[in-house]
Amino acid sequence: MTTDLREFPQARTLSVLSLVQVVGGIGNGAGLAVGALLVKDISGSSGWAGTATVMLTLGAAAATIPLSRLAVRAGRRPALATGWLLGASGAAVTVMAADRASLWLVLLGLLFFGASTAATLQSRFAAVDRAAPSTVGRSLSIVVWSTTVGAVAGPNLTGPGAAVAARVGVPDLAGPMLFSVAAFGLAGMLTLLTLRPDPLVRRTAADRGPRVRALDHLHGPALTAVGAIAASHAVMVGVMSLTPVHLADHGASLQLIGLTISLHIAGMFALSPVFGWLSDRLGPVPMIVAGQIVLVLAVAVAGTAGDSHLWVTIGLVLLGLGWSASVIAGAALLTLVVDAEARPAVQGFADLAMNLAGAGGGLLAGLVMAWSGFGALNAAAAALTLPVAGLVLAGRRAAAELAAADRVA
C-alpha cells in the first residue's frame, strides 16, 4: 500500500501531537520531581529512592510493545490515548498509596504511571509516520520540543502541589501527582478527539503478511541507532534519578530541587529542533557522536561538583542536551534505515530497549549512590558511552570496507 505524502495533513498532525505533549509533559514533570522523594519518605532509605525511576521505566517498557501492536492493529490514536489514560490511573494510585504510606502500592502506581512515558516516546514516531525523508529529524524534534513547556513547568508544581495536597488531606509530596492525574487524563482525551486522520497507514489482516520480528532488522545502522538510544537513556536516567536525593542530602529545598530538574528537562527538550535540523543536514551518526561527547562532559561536571548546587545544575543541563542530541539522532537514523512495513515493530523494540536500559540505570544508580556516592555514580554513567562509540566505529569500518570492495569490483 502506498501513500501520497502530499495528501496527508502533516502540519495538523504535528500540531495535535505537540499540544498533547505540552499537556502530558506537565504530568510527567510533576511526577518526576517527587517520585524518588516520595519513595524515600515512605521507605525511610535513600537506597530505595532509585526504585521510583526503576518502576517508572519498567512501566514504560511493559507498555511499549502492547501499545505498538495496538497501533499496528487500530492506529496511533487509540494506542497513544491508552498510554496516557494508563498513566492517569497510575498517578491516582500513587496519591492513594502516599496517603496510606504504602510502599508497595506507591511502586505499583509508579509502574502504571510509566505508561505515559511510553505514550510520549511513541508520539515522536507518530510524527514521522507520514514525514518526507528529508524532514524526519525536524518532524521528530518538533514533537520532542513541545514537551518542554509542560515538562519544565511540571517540576515547579511542587509548591502549588503541596498547597493542593493540604486542601484534600494527602501528604505534601503526593500533591504534584494530582496534577499528573488531570494532565494525563486531558492528554488522552485530546488524542482521542483530535488526532484525525490517524498518521499510521494500517493494512488489513490479509495485507499484513507474517508478523515482523524486530530482531531480524537490528543490524548495521539500525543496531547503532538502538544502542545509542538505549545507552544515552541509561546515562541520563541513572544520574538524573538520584540528583534530587543528592541535592536534598546537601540541604537543597524542594523549590531548588524542582528548579534543577526543570532546567535539566529544558536541556532535554528546548534545543531539540536544532538537533533535528542538524541531524537532517549533517546526518544522524555525527549527531550521535556529538551527543555522546556532551554526555561525558555532563557527568564530569556533575560528578565533580561536590556540594555545589550550581555546578550540579550545570551538569544536569548538559546531561539533558547530550540526551536530546543522541536520542533524536538515533530515532531519525532508525526511521531512515528501516523499511516502512517493519518500522512500528522496530520502533517499539527501540523504546523497549530504551526503557529497560533506563530501569537498569535507575536501579544501579541507587546501589552505587548508597555504596560510593554521587561522584562514583557519574563515573559509572560515563562508561556507558563506550559501547556506542564501538558501534559507530564498527559501522564506519564496515562502510569503508564495502566502499573498497565496490572500487575493486
- Secondary structure letter of residue 201 according to DSSP: P
pLDDT for the residue numbered 353? 93
pLDDT for the residue numbered 403? 61
Instruction: Return the amino acid letter for 124.
Output: R
* Residues 310, 316: Cα–Cα separation, whole Å: 10
Domain 7-201+215-408 has CATH 1.20.1250.20: yes
Average pLDDT over residues 347-357: 91
**For 194-207, what is each residue's pLDDT tens digit?**
999 999 876 555 45
Residue 383, SS3?
A: helix
Phi/psi region, residue 7 (left: phi>0; alpha: psi -120 to 50; beta: rest), is alpha
- Secondary structure letter of residue 173 according to DSSP: G
Instruction: Return the amino acid letter for 20.
Output: V
The better pLDDT of the pair 213, 263 is held by 263
Residue 384, SS3?
A: coil
pLDDT for the residue numbered 1? 41
Going through 312-404 in order, the beta strands assigned E by DSSP cover none
Average pLDDT over residues 8-30: 90
Q: Which of 285, 303, 272 is nearest to 369 (CA)?
A: 303
In whole numbers, what is the pLDDT of the chain averaged over residues?
Answer: 87
Residue 60, SS3?
A: helix
* Residues 143, 258: Cα–Cα separation, whole Å: 23
pLDDT for the residue numbered 182? 94
pTM: 0.79
* Residues 60, 322: Cα–Cα separation, whole Å: 21
**For 136-176, what is each residue's pLDDT tens digit?**
999 999 998 987 777 677 777 778 888 888 888 988 888 89
Average pLDDT over residues 20-38: 86
* Residues 5, 342: Cα–Cα separation, whole Å: 19
pLDDT for the residue numbered 83? 97
Number of H helices, E strands in the chain: 17, 0
Q: Convert 230-275 into a string of H (helix), E (strand) and C (coil).
A: HHHHHHHHHHHHHHHHHHHHCCCCHHHHHHHHHHHHHHHHCCHHHH
Is 170 in contact with 98 (CB distance < 8 Å)? yes
pLDDT for the residue numbered 149? 76
C-alpha cell at 375: 561522584
Q: Which of 121, 104, 98 is nearest to 51 (CA)?
A: 104
User: What is the residue-wise DSSP string for 393-404?
Assistant: HHHHHHHHHHHH
Instruction: Return the amino acid letter for 368.
Output: V
pLDDT for the residue numbered 409? 55
pLDDT for the residue numbered 393? 92
**For 236-265, what is each residue's pLDDT tens digit?**
989 988 888 888 887 778 778 878 887 898
Q: Is the pLDDT of residue 285 over 90?
A: yes
The better pLDDT of the pair 1, 285 is held by 285
Q: Which residue in this structure is represented by grid cell 519513595?
A: 39
* Residues 218, 224: Cα–Cα separation, whole Å: 9
pLDDT for the residue numbered 45? 77
* Residues 405, 283: Cα–Cα separation, whole Å: 23
Q: Which of 321, 292, 303, 134 is nearest to 227 (CA)?
A: 292
Peptide bond into 78 cis (omega under 30): no
C-alpha cell at 98: 502516599
Domain boundaries, the chain: 7-201+215-408
pLDDT for the residue numbered 210? 58
Q: Is the pLDDT of residue 275 over 70?
A: yes
C-alpha cell at 293: 561527547
Please state, as a whole number, how many other Cβ atoms lie within 10 Å of the Cβ of residue 46: 18
pLDDT for the residue numbered 390? 95
Instruction: Return the amino acid letter for 174.
Output: A
Average pLDDT over residues 89-118: 94
Q: Is the pLDDT of residue 56 over 90?
A: no
Model confidence at 332, in pLDDT bands (50, 70, 90)?
very high
pLDDT for the residue numbered 3? 47
Phi, psi of 102 (to 5 degrees): -105, 110
Average pLDDT over residues 216-221: 86
Average pLDDT over residues 373-385: 93
